[in-house]
Amino acid sequence: MLPTAIPLDYYLILSAVLFVVGVVGVITRRNAIIIFMSIELMLNAVNLSMVAFSAFSGDIAGQMFVFFIMAVAAAEAAVGLAIVLALFRNKQTVYVDEINIMKW
């Protein structure tokens, strides 16, 4: 017996809302670490919709994709934070609007 009466559409809309919260974080914040956390929010929103599709259609592919996304996110976290660290060492700041050497 599977205890749910929540339609798939609700999960999709929740996923969209969470994704957009992540987008707002990336757009409005200037702290590189918080921007990084917002990217994780977006990845997780997509994972949620994948698991929802997988569970509602009885196909394991969605959950396999989530597994691989998590592996890639872990790799991304390691490299991203190493970049933030290297950036801080060179520029003494984590605020992305102070890092403008590539600006024309």
Tell me: does residue 59 bind another protein (CB under 8 A): yes
Residues 73-92 that bind another protein (CB under 8 A): 73-79, 81-86, 88-89
Tell me: does residue 96 bind another protein (CB under 8 A): no
**CB distance 51 to 67 below 8 Å:** no
- What burial letters (b/e) apply to 60-84, b meaning 16+ CB within 10 Å? eebeebbeebeeebeeeeeebeeeb
Tell me: does residue 64 bind another protein (CB under 8 A): yes
Q: CB of residue 104 vs another protein: minimum separation in angstroms? A: 20
Tell me: does residue 102 bind another protein (CB under 8 A): no
